């Protein structure tokens, strides 16, 4: 009989993907004994329509480059290829159809998790996966977060502290635009892709994380 797979879902805009994303996913994979982690760059994110800097295709390629040699890490184009606004519930419905016997674990940062109760069809989403909420510097597990998570009926979640890295894609975009070196935070192949495609040059802060 086929073994049930434990599959992590690492969704994000990945604009650009950095060592913080990959480092968190590696630690979660080990702690939760996940068989795979699917990195799914968003297409047109629900709360950020038209706000990303690099194109979905560029964000997908950078994601592929960043995880290319890591065992069990897979980049998925399913949201980039989907027409219209990206909703996680559509992604999990599709994954559940493709892998009806497997278990899904959605890895989410604490800042994004405070808004989870506002996500499209979140009750259905909560039936399709467990959530692993990872704290992010500046976004502790506070009362507001616990309260908001409690607003989602049937939500199964765990809070994981102390895994995150003090880095953000916003900070990297700003540093790149200012011509500063951010090599420490990027896979060399991602850094080269950004350079050769002229990404994030002259980008102005948009105030988002």
Q: Where does this chain bind ligand NAP (CB under 6 A)?
A: 10-13, 20-21, 24, 42, 45-48, 86-89, 107-109, 111-112, 119-120, 134, 136, 168-170, 209
Question: Could you tell me the smallest distance in angstroms from the CB atom of residue 51 to ligand NAP?
Answer: 9
Give every strand in the sheet of 6-12, ordered side by side: 73-75, 36-41, 6-12, 103-109, 130-134, 157-160
Q: How far is the CB of 41 from ligand NAP (least distance, A)?
A: 8
Cβ-based nearer residue to ligand NAP, 35 or 90? 90
Q: How far is the CB of 125 from ligand NAP (least distance, A)?
A: 7
* CB-based closest residue to ligand NAP: 11
Is it true that the peptide bond before 18 is cis, omega within 30 degrees of 0? no
Q: Give me the helices (H) in 37-168, please.
A: 56-67, 88-98, 110-113, 122-128, 143-149
Which is nearer to ligand NAP, 119 or 189 (by Cβ)? Answer: 119
- Which residue lies nearer to ligand NAP by CB, 2 or 144? 144
In whole angstroms, the minimum distance from the beta carbon of 114 to ligand NAP comes to 10
CB atoms within 10 A of CB 124: 12
Least spacing, CB of residue 119 vs ligand NAP, in Å = 4
DSSP 142-202: -HHHHHHHTTSTT--EEEE-S---S--HHHHHHHHHTT---GGGS-HHHHHHHHHTTTTTT
Based on CB atoms, which residue is closest to ligand NAP, 120 or 181? 120
């Amino acid at each position: 009989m086929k073994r049930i797979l434990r599959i992590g879902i690492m969704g994000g805009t990945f604009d650009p993907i950095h060592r913080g994303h990959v480092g968190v996913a590696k630690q979660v994979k080990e702690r939760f004994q996940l068989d795979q982690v699917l990195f799914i760059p968003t297409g047109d994110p629900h709360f950020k329509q038209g706000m990303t800097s690099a194109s979905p295709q560029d964000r997908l390629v950078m994601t592929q480059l960043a995880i290319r040699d890591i065992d069990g890490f897979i980049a998925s184009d399913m949201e980039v290829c989907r027409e219209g606004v990206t909703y996680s519930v559509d992604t999990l419905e599709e994954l559940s159809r493709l892998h009806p016997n497997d278990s899904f674990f959605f890895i989410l940062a604490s800042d994004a998790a405070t808004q989870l109760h506002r996500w499209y069809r979140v009750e259905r989403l909560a039936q399709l996966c467990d959530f692993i909420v990872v704290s992010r510097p500046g976004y502790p597990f506070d009362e507001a977060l616990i309260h908001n998570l409690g607003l989602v009926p049937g939500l199964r979640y765990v809070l994981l502290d102390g895994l995150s890295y003090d880095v953000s894609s916003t900070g990297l975009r700003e540093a790149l635009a200012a011509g500063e070196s951010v090599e420490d935070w990027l896979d060399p192949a991602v850094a080269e892709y950004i350079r050769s495609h002229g990404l994030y040059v002259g980008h102005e802060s948009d105030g988002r994380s």
